[in-house]
Amino acid sequence: MTSLNQRKDRLEFNKLQKRLRRQTGSAIVDYNMIEDGDKVMVCLSGGKDSYTMLDILLSLQQTAPIRFELVAVNMDQKQPGFPEHVLPNYLAQLGVPFHIIERDTYSIVKEVVPEGKTTCGLCSRLRRGTLYGFADEIGATKIALGHHRDDIIETLFLNMFYGGKLKAMPPKLLSDDKRNIVIRPLAYCAEEDIAEFARLKGFPIIPCNLCGSQENLQRQAVKEMLHAWERQFPGRTETIFTAIRNVQPSQLGDLELFDFVNLAIDKTATAVEDASDACAVPNWHRPAQEEVVQYVDVLDIH
């Protein structure tokens, strides 16, 4: 019985690994994330996402039709209790070239941010600036981050609810100074799959609460909303992600993206037989009344 269970577990693991490989490979191809001769700086935090990203990229590197280099980089921000040995030991055993950047950003954040306030924003900015600079130092042509599909969707809602912007987190990004290209190879991967993969692989996860900062309550609220909606109406998360990749500026309201001001009638165009049909929303796009009620109930964010 144990042998049968082991074979079943192995089969499930293989299916999961293949799915993550396929999704990561598709994202890389769709956005031309990695090109022949690239030196990719893989940013490791010690969490499930970055471990999975490195593992999948190493796997794809063996079969890719192009040659590219992977260099793992971790930033030791000197948080109290940070297990400095974990990542170096893991990467050395893996045989992956790596660098550990030591920057005491923890002290800066604690000095600047009032007690009780979230430190995530400033901490992220300091880390990003350091990583961008280090990428220049080692000649990296791409910077790989471990954000996944759920991160992208959550960021979309955060920007809508709290920033008044229809903006998410792109799979590929040119930095503001135009000196670095950031890629997110796990952009098509679900957090649930990544968590299960990390568990099965037994990665030495480093807790993300070492800095003692408050959890980002806004992001957590959005995450809970999306989870509740997905439980009630399975498949909605994937549909939202599809929408992010299927933007129609003429159906929104941004004057910089579409020229609404100079719209003009063209009587030479072929007339639509039934204008009401042309403007109608297909039934399969119409949420049932109970869906709308459930969604409003879940959306309890202040």
Residues within the annotated binding site?
Answer: 120, 123, 211
With tokens 């079943």, the residue in question is 8
**3-state secondary structure (DSSP) of residue 99:** strand
Give binding residues for [4Fe-4S] cluster as ranges. Answer: 120, 123, 211
Q: Report d(CA 190, CA 143) in Å as an integer.
A: 21
Tell me how far apart the terminal alpha carbons of the chain are, to the nearest angstrom.
52
CB distance 106 to 82 below 8 Å: no
For residue 76, which of 66, 68, 87 has the smallest C-alpha distance?
Answer: 87
Q: How far is CA 301 from CA 80, 162, 183, 240, 298, in A?
A: 32, 10, 31, 19, 9
DSSP structure class, residue 40 = E
Query: What tokens appear for 60 in the block?
Result: 């794809």
Cβ-based neighbour number of residue 126 at 10 Å? 19
| Integer angstrom CA distances of residue 193 from 47, 56, 155, 196 | 14, 13, 19, 5
Burial of 32: CB neighbours in 10 Å, binned 0-12, 13-18, 19+: exposed
